[in-house]
Amino acid sequence: MSTPAISVHNLYRYFGTLKAVNGVTFEIPKGSVCGFVGANGAGKTTTMRILASLDYPTLGTAEICGYNVVSHPEEVRRLIGWMPDHFGNYEHMTVVEYLDFYARALGYKGKERRQRVQEVMDFTDLGPLAERFSNKLSKGNTQRLGLGRALLQDPEVLVMDEPAAGLDPKARVELKSLIRVLANEGKTIFISSHILSELGEMCDSLLFINGGRIVHHGDAQSMMQETDVTGGLLYDVQILGDAESLSAWCLLHPKVEFLESRKQGGRIRIESNAIDDSAEILHRMIKDGLRVVEFHREQRNLEDAFIDMLGKIDRGEIAGKTPPQMPTTPAFNPPTL
Amino acid sequence: MSESAIISTPPLPKSATDHLTDFSDRLPPMLVKELRQGLRARTFVAVFLGLQLFLALVMLFATTASGVNGAGGVVSRIIFLFFMLAVLVVQPLRGINALYGEIKSSTIDLMVLTRLSARRIVFGKWAAIVGQTLLLFVSIAPYLILRYFFGGMNLFAEMLALSSVLILSICLTGLSVGVSANRAILIRGLLPLAVAVFFLFSTFGLCTNSSFEYLLREFTMQDEEFVAVFFSLLIGSLYIAWTAFGLGVSAIAPAAENHSSLNRVITLIVMALIGLILYLVDADWEAVPFAIGAAALPGIILAFGEKNFLMPRITEPFVRRGFIGRMLGLLFYPCWSAGVFYATLLIGIIYGLGALGYYHENTLGNYYDPDVSVVLTSLIGCLIFPAAVLVFFQKKITNHLGMYIGILAGSFALMAAMFAIAESTSSQVSLWTFCWLPPVNLCMQGGRFD
């Protein structure tokens, strides 16, 4: 069996009393795309920073292609491309000079350096912006510049922390297509995002972290099945007139649950999986005076799974794998002092 | 192919990467980056052009008044005044946010992930500002030649004086860049600012004072005493700049890198060198612990300001060397506890020298002022007091050095306030109330309030 691209074992990171990462264990095989999902403050960025050798674990091990991030940071840094959620750009420095600086810093020289910068600019389509100052770029172009910088050393593993955050839909689609190309080239991509539908489309597996602990690791389908506690069928219902009347109607019918309001109606769940029951519900709506203009079935999506997962955690139905008790002795105290 | 076809062929589009040959591959990447940014920075362009414009105007007026007695001296003063303001005040202040800016915008993480070491990053920041300072220095050379035309000028002495200013500027830039990594504004901002304000007033004072010509004459290096002072100041400036430089490197280096041990060894070497010089010039024994203590001061402050954790990768090289390595580790591990041991060693050396001096002078039957040990104890108390306070807040503090210097500065500010109250009320009550505070105690050693 080949060495996994990313291997994390019983990883802990405490900041004082805050348990940012609390006994995380997972592996990501080479050449796969893994989405890292979790609420704000769940421990995503801390885990990713440790993987990028920018932070150190309080306890546990993290390896990139078999190299420990603490004991072999130089090797790890040669293998990894890191794209943080936020990074500042330099004043008085053009896009091409920005990439050139990092190419120099990575050890590229002469023609090879210029060629590498050109390749990255071509890939990220930054050519037309080459002479623009890097701190004057739009958010989307800044992210492309960040991706370009991360790709300069042709990394085997790409760790991307919220790369789509703050991007407009067009820039998001462009970024997604770039990530797809990289995935097709066989790079291992570890990506965190709040846009779960996009992660579902891109990723081979999803890693769900909550309160510093992994609560799910598997593909999107298994996550949706695992979290589907109530079953039933989902429908988008559009009506004419008062949209509130739909939620009021649902309250009177115990087999129908009103999930969320939408512009002209809402999203409902019908408890039964039988299609006949759905037809009966529609019939009753019309009979009760709701002026239904649209009634169509919807698939359960990752956002639903995410919400259900949080609900399960709140109810204590999912606790994540119980991590081993962290030793009370701090990991980095020297043995002789 | 016809001629018209050749003419009508559009030129090949110029690649965006074509101009990336503007700086050689031999230059450090950080230097290239900083020069590209710095040479476009408004501050530098304004200083450079302003200096040129002003000196050109001065020369123009001086030429018209060339017959007037002492015109050359006035020109020298003006050249020195503006050059010193530019390189001792403006240029070092440009390094004030050099590293913190990178830390704040998270770009330091991106740099750390490349092959740039922390030392190369700090060096690049420093070298870029120094490079621009050199450019300013070179640009005033034509005015010096013109100044020579007016006569009454010792070219060697003035060039040496200007070079000394340049070296001082290089050290001050090292100081401001080095401390710019610290999160505490007290260190990062106020320290370089205080130094700049000091040099601002010193520059004006020096260039408008009647002793200016006398000082310039000293740069002919005829007076041995002046030579000794000159080189002592030079070594002191370089040492302080190096210490601050090391501070910057430690602050941005990954936790698995050890930069403190080397600095501690250098402090010991500097102390030994100063001890050797004092021995060779047969210095007064009473001055020895103070001179050695001055050299140890940065080392003690940095040791007390160390963070309180260690990574196995740092302890490994020490532990591998067995018992001796472990013992050395007790002094040289880059952590707070080892820092305390190291500072204790330095304090022990200072006290030891004081005791040795007392014993030596007594043996020879010479007078040795007993107040030396009292003042020495108060001075050392001033350094230990903030460290003792820090012990109580150990777990809550993340910026040990900032906190240490903050308490140190605060205790001296309190001393100044109590002294002022005592002066204005002609009463010692305020001083006696705080006599337990080492700086106040030190102030009371002056003999004024005994």
- Do residues A176 and A67 share a domain? yes
Residue B316 has pLDDT above 70, yes or no: yes
Count of alpha carbons within 13 angstroms of residue A208, beta-carbon side = 27
Structure tokens at A299: 């698939």
State mean pLDDT over B321-333.
90
Q: B356 lies in a domain?
A: no
How much of chain B, in percent, has pLDDT values that exceed 70?
93
- Do residues B279 and B163 share a domain? no
State mean pLDDT over B286-290.
86
Model pLDDT, residue A272: 81
State mean pLDDT over A35-40.
86
Q: What is the mean pLDDT of chain A?
A: 84
* Helices (runs of H) and strands (runs of E) counted in chain B: 23, 0
Q: What is the mean pLDDT of chain B?
A: 83
Model pLDDT, residue B13: 52
* pLDDT (tens digit per residue) in B115-132: 888 888 998 888 888 888
Q: A317 lies in a domain?
A: no
Residue that is last in its domain, among B213, B236, B254: B254
- Do residues B220 and B150 share a domain? yes
By Cβ distance, the residue of B29, B112, B330 closest to A336 is B330
- Do residues A84 and A161 share a domain? yes
Model pLDDT, residue A318: 63
Q: A331 lies in a domain?
A: no
By Cβ distance, the residue of B25, B109, B309 closest to A84 is B109
**Local confidence band at B71 (pLDDT 50, 70, 90 cut-offs):** low
- Do residues B161 and B210 share a domain? yes
Structure tokens at A125: 């389509």
Cα–Cα distance, B99 to B246 (Å, whole number):
13
- Do residues A39 and A154 share a domain? yes
Model pLDDT, residue A151: 92
Q: Which of residues 20-59 of A touch B (CB under 8 A)?
A: 52-54, 56
Model pLDDT, residue A313: 74
- Do residues B91 and B164 share a domain? yes
Q: Which of residues 222-251 of A touch B (CB under 8 A)?
A: none
CATH classification at residue A294: 3.30.70.920
- Do residues A39 and A55 share a domain? yes
Q: A200 lies in a domain?
A: yes
- Do residues A292 and A154 share a domain? no
Residue that is last in its domain, among A299, A314, A329: A299
Q: B274 lies in a domain?
A: yes
The answer to whether A254 faces chain B, any CB pair under 8 Å, is no
CATH classification at residue A15: 3.40.50.300
The Cα of A153 is separated from the nearest Cα of chain B by a number of Å equal to 9
Model pLDDT, residue A103: 94
Contact between B84 and B183 under an 8 Å Cβ cutoff? The reply is no
Task: Give the residue from B18, B32, B40, B114 with the most A CB atoms within 10 Å of its CB, the best one to mutate.
Answer: B114
| Record: contact B111-A105, CB cut-off 8 A | yes
Give the structural domain span for A248: 232-299
Q: Using an 8 Å CB-CB cutoff, list chain B residues near A330.
A: 309
Question: A88: nearest CA in chain B?
Answer: B105
| B264-273 long-range Cβ contacts below 8 angstroms, 24+ apart | B264/B299, B264/B303, B264/B331, B264/B332, B264/B342, B265/B332, B266/B242, B267/B243, B267/B295, B267/B296, B267/B298, B267/B299, B267/B346, B268/B299, B270/B235, B270/B239, B270/B295, B271/B295, B271/B296, B271/B346, B271/B349
| Record: contact A100-B40, CB cut-off 8 A | no
Q: B59 lies in a domain?
A: yes
Q: B151 lies in a domain?
A: yes
* pLDDT (tens digit per residue) in B360-415: 887 877 777 777 788 888 888 999 999 988 888 777 777 788 888 888 888 888 88
* Nearest Cα residue to B106 out of A317, A223, A48, A187: A48
The answer to whether A117 faces chain B, any CB pair under 8 Å, is yes
Q: B95 lies in a domain?
A: yes
Q: Using an 8 Å CB-CB cutoff, list chain A residues near B333.
A: 334, 337
Q: Specify the number of domains making up chain A.
A: 2
The answer to whether A149 faces chain B, any CB pair under 8 Å, is yes
By Cβ distance, the residue of B15, B25, B32 closest to A109 is B25
By Cβ distance, the residue of B25, B33, B333 closest to A110 is B25
- Do residues A171 and A287 share a domain? no
Question: B333: nearest CA in chain A?
Answer: A334
* pLDDT (tens digit per residue) in A87-135: 878 888 999 999 999 999 999 998 899 999 999 998 888 888 888 998 8
Q: Choose the weakest-confidence range: A259-268, B99-108, B218-227.
A: B218-227
- Do residues B228 and B207 share a domain? yes
Cα–Cα distance, A201 to A197 (Å, whole number):
6
- Do residues A221 and A246 share a domain? no
Structure tokens at B396: 């809550």
Q: A111 lies in a domain?
A: no
- Do residues A199 and A239 share a domain? no
State mean pLDDT over A264-289.
87
**Local confidence band at B424 (pLDDT 50, 70, 90 cut-offs):** confident
Residue that is last in its domain, among A181, A203, A226: A226
Model pLDDT, residue B345: 95
- Do residues B378 and B429 share a domain? yes
Amino acid identity at B81: L
* pLDDT (tens digit per residue) in B178-211: 889 888 887 888 888 888 888 888 888 888 877 7
Structure tokens at B106: 């998270």
Residue that is last in its domain, among B233, B254, B275: B254
State mean pLDDT over B95-100.
88
- Do residues B231 and B178 share a domain? yes
Model pLDDT, residue B66: 61
- Do residues B325 and B262 share a domain? yes
Q: Specify the number of domains making up chain B.
A: 3
Counted residue by residue, chain B has a size of: 450
- Do residues B374 and B450 share a domain? yes
Residue that is last in its domain, among A203, A226, A249: A226
Residue B237 has pLDDT above 90, yes or no: no
- Do residues A170 and A81 share a domain? yes
- Do residues A170 and A21 share a domain? yes
Find which of B14-18, B329-333, B443-447 is predicted with most confidence, using mean pLDDT: B329-333
| Record: contact A336-B329, CB cut-off 8 A | yes
By Cβ distance, the residue of B40, B112, B337 closest to A337 is B337
The answer to whether A15 faces chain B, any CB pair under 8 Å, is no
- Do residues B249 and B264 share a domain? no
Model pLDDT, residue A145: 92
Model pLDDT, residue B11: 53
Residue B296 has pLDDT above 60, yes or no: yes
pTM above 0.90, yes or no: no
Find which of A28-37, B196-205, B229-238 is predicted with most confidence, using mean pLDDT: A28-37
- Do residues B187 and B40 share a domain? yes
Question: A332: nearest CA in chain B?
Answer: B311
More confident residue, A323 or B233: B233
Cα–Cα distance, B77 to B74 (Å, whole number):
5
Q: A45 lies in a domain?
A: yes
* pLDDT (tens digit per residue) in A162-212: 888 777 788 788 888 888 888 888 899 999 987 777 777 788 888 988 888
Any idea of the CA torsion for B19, B22, B27, B33, to the nearest 10 degrees?
A: -70
How much of chain A, in percent, has pLDDT values that exceed 90?
29
Give the structural domain span for B329: 256-350
Q: A255 lies in a domain?
A: yes
Q: B330 lies in a domain?
A: yes
Question: B332: nearest CA in chain A?
Answer: A337
DSSP β-bridge partners for residue A258: A268
Residue B105: which residues within 8 A CB-CB, separation 6 or more?
A87, A88, A89
The answer to whether A130 faces chain B, any CB pair under 8 Å, is yes
Task: Give the residue from A96, A100, A161 with the most B CB atoms within 10 Å of its CB, the best one to mutate.
Answer: A100
Model pLDDT, residue A98: 93
In sign, the C-alpha dihedral spanning A321, A327, A328, A329 is negative
Q: A337 lies in a domain?
A: no
Q: B18 lies in a domain?
A: no
- Do residues A152 and A250 share a domain? no
- Do residues B221 and B295 share a domain? no
The answer to whether A12 faces chain B, any CB pair under 8 Å, is no
By Cβ distance, the residue of A52, A70, A114 closest to B256 is A70
- Do residues A71 and A151 share a domain? yes
Q: A325 lies in a domain?
A: no
| Record: contact B109-A337, CB cut-off 8 A | no
Q: Using an 8 Å CB-CB cutoff, list chain B residues near A76.
A: none
Q: B36 lies in a domain?
A: yes
| Record: contact B32-A114, CB cut-off 8 A | no
| Record: contact A117-B17, CB cut-off 8 A | yes
State mean pLDDT over B54-61.
81
Beta-strand relationship, A6-15 and A59-64: antiparallel
| Record: contact A97-B105, CB cut-off 8 A | no
Q: Choose the weakest-confidence range: A272-281, A325-334, B158-167.
A: A325-334
Query: Distances in Å between the alpha carbon of A190 and those of A80, A294, B379?
Result: 11, 40, 55
Query: Which ipTM value was assigned to this complex?
Result: 0.77
